Amino acid sequence: MMEEAYPIRTDLALESQESMKKDRGGLKGVDFQEEKRENGITISTVVIQTENAAKSMGKPRGHYITIEAPEMEEDDAGYHREISMELAKIIRRLLPESKIGKIDWQSLDEELEISVLIVGLGNREVTPDALGPRVIDNMFITRHIIKEFGKYAFGSEKISKISGIVPGVMAQTGMECLEIVRGVVNETKPDLVITVDALAARNAKRLGRTIQLTDTGITPGSGIGNHRNALNEKSVGVPVLSLGVPTVVDAATIVSDAMTSLIEAMSLSNLEKLDESEKQELARELLSPQLHGMFVTPKDIDAAIKRLSFLISEGLNIALLGNKEKTADI
């Protein structure tokens, strides 16, 4: 009951897995693997295998792959390119085999032929929530060219048909994102939908440094308690991959982490026995009503969103079009 009243605000399956492991020593039905690269990038895979595990984690069954790069926030084009390449490989790994056949997802030179709708979720007018729309701005859109001139306009026998949409938020449109996306899918008939959204994290150290990809779809706003209708294969009608970067963290979480460090440092026996949910409750009692419901974002979030939008759009372009420059010969 306490966990329901004071939920840990996070969209990252990796953080949910870490919390479960800390409080319960692990969870049956959840498989976890971690791989560290020489360039400092860590790739973690959480696979939720059972319905019981999904209920405990608060996330649907499926694959959740996380890229962590501590230097992602730095203005280093070469390092960002490496992250984009890793991102492209993971996207190819998650593409539905029924649509593209068997491919060597580690190789990015192979050209694909798949129809994809990229959905940039979020509010362009709110900087921490503008990641999705900014990514769409940087995508290489091909559907209209292929429809008008054919795939040979790109001088290639294989070319993916890419379209993009920014559905906005309900306050702007009066419509659920699901209603808009489902209408576009019914009209354009893509093989796949890929959503891009800003997420909420449990740990402030992951803000702007972590990318999560999942084949389960997304429930917009769930990380900050503002649940909207889910975008997934069942609701949309085609497979949905979701990609996101955490840009905000709950203020209560920051205080809870600080309290935990203080408790550990001072060895307060009556407090160090508190479990994670009890620490969260205590933090919220101390914060309320001044900071209750407040979310925090880095001070340089505008520059971070600009860099991340280029990084993610490059990864998507490479994954869907191959590691080559594409230009329309028209």
What's the pLDDT tens digit per position in 201-235?
988 889 999 999 999 999 875 545 555 688 999 99
Instruction: Please check whether residue 6 lies inside any domain of the structure.
Output: yes
Instruction: Please check whether residue 270 lies inside any domain of the structure.
Output: yes
The residues, any chain, with a CB within 8 Å of residue 211's CB and separated by 6 or more, are: 66, 67, 83, 87, 243, 244, 245, 312
The residues, any chain, with a CB within 8 Å of residue 266's CB and separated by 6 or more, are: none
What is the predicted pLDDT for the residue at 189?
A: 96
Instruction: Please check whether residue 253 lies inside any domain of the structure.
Output: yes
CATH number of the structural domain spanning residue 75 = 3.40.50.1450
What is the predicted pLDDT for the residue at 155?
A: 83
Indicate the range of 24-28, 240-244, 282-286, 306-310 predicted with least confidence. 282-286
Alpha-carbon gap, residue 324 to 7, rounded angstroms: 45
Instruction: Please check whether residue 43 lies inside any domain of the structure.
Output: yes
pLDDT tens digits for range 140-185: 999 999 999 998 888 888 899 999 999 998 888 999 999 999 999 9
pLDDT(128) > 50: yes
Binning pLDDT at 50, 70 and 90, where does residue 5 land? very low
Which residues span the domain enclosing 276?
Answer: 2-321
Instruction: Please check whether residue 326 lies inside any domain of the structure.
Output: no
Q: Mean pLDDT in the chain?
A: 84
Instruction: Please check whether residue 291 lies inside any domain of the structure.
Output: yes
* Cis status of the peptide bond prior to 289, with omega within 30 of 0: yes
Instruction: Please check whether residue 163 lies inside any domain of the structure.
Output: yes
Smallest CA-to-CA distance from 59 within 45, 42, 67, 47 is with 47
What is the predicted pLDDT for the residue at 221?
A: 58
pLDDT tens digits for range 232-268: 999 999 999 999 999 998 876 776 666 666 666 555 5
Smallest CA-to-CA distance from 194 within 145, 238, 130 is with 238
At 28, list the tokens: 């049956």
Alpha-carbon gap, residue 156 to 142, rounded angstroms: 13
Domain count, the chain: 1
Instruction: Please check whether residue 329 lies inside any domain of the structure.
Output: no
Query: Which pTM value belongs to this model?
Result: 0.85
